[in-house]
Copies of this chain bind each other. A is one copy, B any other.
Amino acid sequence: MMPDVTMHLARHVAAAKHTDLPDAVRKEVARALLNWVGVAIGASRHETIEIALRAIAPFAGPPQAAVLGRHDRLDIMNAAMLNGISSHVFDFDDTDLSTTVHPSAPVAPAVLALAEHRKMTGADFVLAMALGIEAECRIARAVVPPHQAIGWHPTGTCGVFGAAVATGKALGLDASRMAHAIGLAATQPVGIREMFGSMTKSFHPGRAAQSGMLSAFLAEQGYTSSEQGIEAKRGWANILSTKQDYAAITEGLGETYEIMRNSYKPYACGLVVHPVIDGCIRLRGAYGLTPSTIDRIDVDIHPIVMELTAKRAPSTGLEGKFSVYYAAAIGIVAGVAGEPQFSDAAVRDPVTVALRDKVAPRIDDTLHQDQARVRITLTDGRVLEQFVEHAVGSVSNPMTDIQLEAKFKDLVTGIVPPDRVQHLIDLCWGVDALDDAGDIARAAAA
């Protein structure tokens, strides 16, 4: 047993101060926040949210916190769960590429709901969110790739730590209680990969947000757990993975920040297929391609693509987000891949289906995860090739602030009143200096 991993992390979190955070980290939290608020509002009227609200409303507590993009208000733990679900419904949220964790989805809903309940400055909000993301991404790095290969969904399984740490920090837990909060999180992993393609995938960060909050509130009151929840012989890391790189959790805390590797998606689907979409869109633009001119689409891909997105014949929009076949086809058919391109109707369109059936993926172990090679054989025999070195939205080719604002506006239009859109953008960019971070939630309601 590796001693002291959980307590090491807990002591760091309990002692961390807002003034410790480098400017670049505070800026990246604002970028993550803007992206997250946009995707959560964008999905707020989706059937998944309507159903979850109907199921939960009869049992919810006082109207303490907003469900983003809606008039509904719930107790903070249920609001966090709902906002965690809407974060991930479009699969359009931020991603830590090295672990596939979606960092904001379990963390931001917890902190924002809490900010409506116990007054919290923007500085405290930023600190809590940065530390939550730090914890979940480091814990994920300690156990992936085996953790994911076994079948876990790290956004849920590690996200619960992020929510517990962020909430615990916002509550001011001392190191010991923080360790107990982490222990309670360790005993509540949520998310198995079989659920990909159903509404339950987005349930994972939602329940993780809520379970993490519950962990912190229980620990605050003195509920006891283990102080070695992560590293004990029968602890989280040994049970949920065959790899335990504890140094990934403990080394360089406060010196490096995981959020600096955060990436944002230009396409509303599983990130691993983005390079393929990029390549198809580029070839479409360069040669004016239409589906009828295409005989065959060969795509060379990183092995993870077939692990996560091998659905050959998706029949719903959700399934389409996890199909490399559909991804290539829609890149050619539409030339964009926003949320409308992942509707049930789009996925069932006969022209797209026919093109989808011409897509032939091949694993190439020499490729990085943000790379792909697309080779299109035309009906006239010509072969067109495009190598994508870094997909748009990857760490080496990040979305700009302006691109993030444009994505935000696309997502919230029609949900948030027009005169409030820019105000909400300004609140996110200026979160660090807000007197009351709860203002963001109030502005993000319908």
On A, residues with C-beta under 8 Å from B are 48, 51-52, 54-56, 58-62, 64, 75-78, 150-153, 156, 183-184, 186-195, 198-200, 203-204, 207, 211, 214, 217-218, 220-226, 228-229, 232-236, 238-239
Which chain B residues lie closer than 8 Å to A58 at the CB level? 61-62, 75
Which chain B residues lie closer than 8 Å to A218 at the CB level? 51-52, 55, 203
Which chain B residues lie closer than 8 Å to A150 at the CB level? 239
Minimum Cβ distance to chain B for residue A246 (Å): 15
> Which residue of B192, B221, B226 is within 8 Å of A54 (Cβ)?
B221
Minimum Cβ distance to chain B for residue A54 (Å): 5
> Which residue of B61, B194, B198, B235 is within 8 Å of A61 (Cβ)?
B61
Q: How far is the CA of A192 from the CA of B52 in the complex (A)?
A: 28
Is the CB–CB distance between A192 and B225 below 8 Å? no
> Which residue of B76, B78, B151, B226 is within 8 Å of A194 (Cβ)?
B226
Is the CB–CB distance between A234 and B151 below 8 Å? yes
Is the CB–CB distance between A192 and B64 below 8 Å? no
Most buried by B among A77, A78, A239: A239
Is the CB–CB distance between A55 and B200 below 8 Å? no
Q: List 23 A-B contacts (CB under 8 A).
A: A51-B222, A55-B218, A58-B61, A59-B75, A60-B61, A61-B75, A151-B233, A153-B187, A183-B200, A186-B192, A187-B192, A187-B195, A188-B190, A194-B228, A194-B229, A194-B233, A194-B235, A195-B226, A195-B229, A198-B224, A198-B226, A200-B226, A203-B223
Is the CB–CB distance between B55 and A77 below 8 Å? no
Which chain B residues lie closer than 8 Å to A77 at the CB level? 59
Is the CB–CB distance between A194 and B200 below 8 Å? no
Contacts A56-B217, A203-B223 aside, 20 further interface pairs with beta carbons under 8 A come to A52-B218, A52-B221, A58-B62, A59-B64, A59-B76, A60-B75, A153-B187, A183-B198, A184-B200, A187-B191, A187-B192, A192-B236, A194-B233, A194-B235, A194-B236, A195-B225, A199-B223, A199-B224, A203-B218, A207-B211
Q: How far is the CA of A55 from the CA of B177 in the complex (A)?
A: 13
Q: How far is the CA of A348 from the CA of B55 in the complex (A)?
A: 48
Minimum Cβ distance to chain B for residue A175 (Å): 17
Which chain B residues lie closer than 8 Å to A62 at the CB level? 58-59
Which chain B residues lie closer than 8 Å to A184 at the CB level? 200, 203
Minimum Cβ distance to chain B for residue A185 (Å): 10
Is the CB–CB distance between B229 and A51 below 8 Å? no
Is the CB–CB distance between B190 and A151 below 8 Å? no
Minimum Cβ distance to chain B for residue A221 (Å): 4
Name the CB-closest residue of B to A195: B187
Q: How far is the CA of A150 from the CA of B239 in the complex (A)?
A: 6
Is the CB–CB distance between B199 and A225 below 8 Å? yes
> Which residue of B59, B192, B235 is within 8 Å of A239 (Cβ)?
B192
Which chain B residues lie closer than 8 Å to A225 at the CB level? 195, 198-200
Is the CB–CB distance between B217 and A55 below 8 Å? yes
Q: How far is the CA of A48 from the CA of B224 in the complex (A)?
A: 9
Q: How far is the CA of A54 from the CA of B225 in the complex (A)?
A: 17
Minimum Cβ distance to chain B for residue A329 (Å): 24
Name the CB-closest residue of B to A47: B222
